[in-house]
Amino acid sequence: MAGFLCQGQEFAPIASSFDRLSGVPDIASNDSVNGDAPGALGALRPEDPREIAGYRLLARIGEGGLGAVYLSHAPGGQPVALKVVRREYARDEGFRRRFQSDVRAALDVRGYHVVPVVGHDSTGDRPWLATAYIPGLSLDDALAVFGPLPPTAVLQLTGCVAGGLRAVHGCGIVHRDLQPGNVLLGDDGPWLADYGLAGAAQSTRLTRGTGLVAAPQYMSPEHAGGDALTPATDVFSLGLVAAVAASGRHPYGEGGPGGPVSIATRIANTARRPPDLSGYPDVLRPVLERCLAADPADRPTAAELAELCERAAGRPVRDFTDWLPERLTAEIARRTAAARRPPAPEPLTSDAPPDDPVPGVSPGNLFGPVVATWSNWGTATPDVAPVGGTYRQQTLLAIAGSIVALLLAVTLTFAFLRNSGHDPAPSPPAPTTSGQPSPGPSPPATTR
């Protein structure tokens, strides 16, 4: 597995989905609740905003723990998933500080099978996060509709997500919330989303009562026990995801009356009562045994896990020729095509709640520079030199072209007025309380 690097170095390109959708009117989402088929694009509701920070919203992708997710476009035409934070979180300054810190760290992550963060704003009335859009559906939705995956597909999925974790961990980030809802299935393989953002929700007063932000049934023993987290916690969670994807059965049993919290309690006691791995496919069981070790030191690194999965699968983990069942492949293709034709928004009604600013929160930079709080777990080194980033190049070329066109129009207008004998009078700057001209609005962020 190669091409997993932090910002400042070359990184792997975002695969062909963006090129095919570029120029047409889609975290990434998790836990979709559109009311249609799980994870399907839904029409904008009357209460939904129509624009956020210059991004025109086209459809509703879903809704998760942090807020709603919308389909939009970056200035270069690439489809993006725009996550708008819930108002109750936006009112919490502690959340805003952690959100800004976490997102700035996530901006550095680039690699194969990692959904890149391409823009954010933590200082406005409604904090938001933009990621590249992966047309398809989440692993959670796929398992609910189509059932467990074949063992080889599970090994390929686990290997690719492990490769994504290698990029995340190489930038000093622990995902903390790896679950089926944060693994997206596209026509070019699985993608890892929402890495490192669970800490922001953990910091808000709204979640401090229970302390549970991540899905309890996918926590590691150290996470469930409230201990310090290292990259090994994500490897354990990925092992649980692989087990459920292969069988639909959790290795720690059903939740019972206590639900997912009961499963988390059993996970915390792994050292005394290991999970039951009988009944899982023979080819997958050694991978599960390594990932679900009670001691974090006994688990493989993300890079080691990717190689282990490739050997067990007997084929390259990034060979996606007929890797999924036909019905699931057809559904992914259908959703990829549907992203080109987002549904029309529902009509606005007079009694729809207005999208008012959050009381007590003013626009502008409220927090100043923020230093990421993650420990540095080392930098990933590629096995081969990856290809340059097509996604970034397209966006920069589009912006440069727009600037050139604007300068040409201004020049021609000025020349025409001079030739007509009417020099335009300069406009005075708008007055401000400080006596300095007001800066113009900034365009929405694109890529880093």
- Most distant CA pair in the chain, distance: 90
Distance CA 172, CA 375 (A): 6
**Segments forming the whole domain that contains residue 66:** 5-344+368-394
For the domain that residue 198 is a member of, what is the CATH number? 1.10.510.10
Annotated catalytic residues are: 177
pLDDT for 181: 92
Distance CA 176, CA 197 (A): 8
Distance CA 161, CA 159 (A): 6
Residue at 410 is within a domain: no
Question: Given CA atoms 245, 251, 226, 301 in this order, what sign does their dihedral have?
Answer: negative
User: pTM of this prediction?
Assistant: 0.70
Distance CA 38, CA 193 (A): 17
Q: How far is CA 219 from CA 80, 213, 371, in A?
A: 29, 10, 27
pLDDT for 422: 46
Residue at 104 is within a domain: yes
pLDDT for 204: 43
pLDDT for 66: 78
Q: Which residue has the tokens 């045994």?
A: 289
Residue at 356 is within a domain: no
Q: How far is CA 383 from CA 3, 158, 380, in A?
A: 7, 19, 10
pLDDT for 1: 45
Residue at 405 is within a domain: no
pLDDT for 70: 95
pLDDT for 411: 61
Written as tens digits, the pLDDT of the chain (448 aa) is 444 445 433 333 333 333 333 322 223 333 334 434 555 789 999 999 999 999 999 999 988 777 899 999 988 888 999 999 988 888 888 889 888 888 888 898 989 999 999 999 988 888 999 999 999 999 999 999 999 999 999 999 999 999 999 999 999 999 999 999 999 999 999 999 988 665 554 444 443 333 445 689 999 999 999 999 999 999 999 999 999 999 999 999 988 888 899 999 999 999 999 999 999 999 999 999 999 999 999 999 999 999 999 999 999 999 999 999 999 999 999 999 988 888 888 887 655 554 444 443 333 222 222 222 222 222 222 222 232 333 344 444 444 555 555 566 656 555 555 555 544 444 444 444 333 433 444 444 443 3
Is 255 strand, coil or helix?
coil
Backbone angles phi, psi at 6, to 5 degrees: -85, 170
The answer to whether the beta carbons of residues 294 and 270 sit under 8 Å apart is yes
Residue at 237 is within a domain: yes
Is 2 strand, coil or helix?
coil
pLDDT for 447: 39
Distance CA 121, CA 125 (A): 9
Work out how many domains the chain is built from and give that number: 1
Residue at 424 is within a domain: no
Q: How far is CA 185 from CA 52, 134, 139, 140, 386, in A?
A: 27, 8, 6, 10, 22
Closest alpha carbon to 158 in 112, 190, 194, 196: 190
